[in-house]
Amino acid sequence: YAAVVFFFQLSGFVNCVVYEARGSAYGAPSFRAKFWHKRVVRLAPTYFVALLMFAPLLVAAWGAFDVLPFGHEPTRVVAVVATALGIQAWDPTVPLWRLWNYPAWAVSDEAVFYFLFPFLMPILKPIVAVSRRGAYALLCLLWIAQLFVWLGYTSLLEMSGFGSGEAADVTYTFPLVRI
């Protein structure tokens, strides 16, 4: 678990360093379009090759699923479409990523981070530029807020009927908890 968290943090750090060194104008529509295009070109080929590699297993097992929530065929169809679109981790209540290619939930989370990056940087950059202490304070506040969101969301799922392990699993992969 820790390696995935570290990867997300490292990816965000590298993006910040690279685009700051280039003096990027984050708010410009041309920057957003170029940034998002580069991310899609980098991630999509490997993502879709992995999905194609696992597609025969999915097809072979299609009628044999008896594990909740995939015992219900419409849920399987939604999971396949969500996975093909790279949004399988975006449902905050149904673990859609478990059906086809389990590790691909990380790409689904990355898509959210990459979408938000050009919008968040113009907000965060002035804080960091004004005061290094302010930046560290913001980082600490965000970390504490993430813990509260994580614990609160896991508790909410448990109260709504999820087992504690499943609630933790859904929370772990939900992108908005990871921001």
Q: What is the pLDDT of residues 103-121, one digit of tens each?
A: 888 899 999 999 999 998 8
Nearby residues of 153 by Cβ (< 8 Å), 6 or more positions away: 92, 171, 174, 177
Nearest to 61 by CA among 46, 79, 47: 79
Tell me the C-alpha distance between 38 and 23, whole Å. 17
Tell me the C-alpha distance between 96 and 28, whole Å. 34
Distances (CA, A) of 76 to 7, 18, 26, 147, 174: 29, 40, 38, 31, 19
At 162, the pLDDT band (50, 70, 90 cuts) reads confident
pLDDT at 177 (0 to 100): 81
Average pLDDT over residues 38-51: 93
Nearest to 51 by CA among 83, 88, 74: 83
At 56, the pLDDT band (50, 70, 90 cuts) reads very high
Tell me the C-alpha distance between 96 and 88, whole Å. 5
The answer on pLDDT for 38 being more than 90 is: yes
pLDDT at 52 (0 to 100): 94
Average pLDDT over residues 43-56: 93
pLDDT at 82 (0 to 100): 94
Query: What token pair was written down for 136?
Result: 């560290």
Distances (CA, A) of 119 to 3, 25, 31, 40, 105: 26, 11, 11, 17, 23
Tell me the C-alpha distance between 100 and 88, whole Å. 10
Average pLDDT over residues 39-62: 92
Higher pLDDT, 65 or 45: 45
pLDDT at 50 (0 to 100): 92
pLDDT at 1 (0 to 100): 58
At 2, the pLDDT band (50, 70, 90 cuts) reads low
* Contact status, residue 177 vs residue 149, Cβ threshold 8 Å: yes
The answer on pLDDT for 89 being more than 80 is: yes
Higher pLDDT, 129 or 77: 77
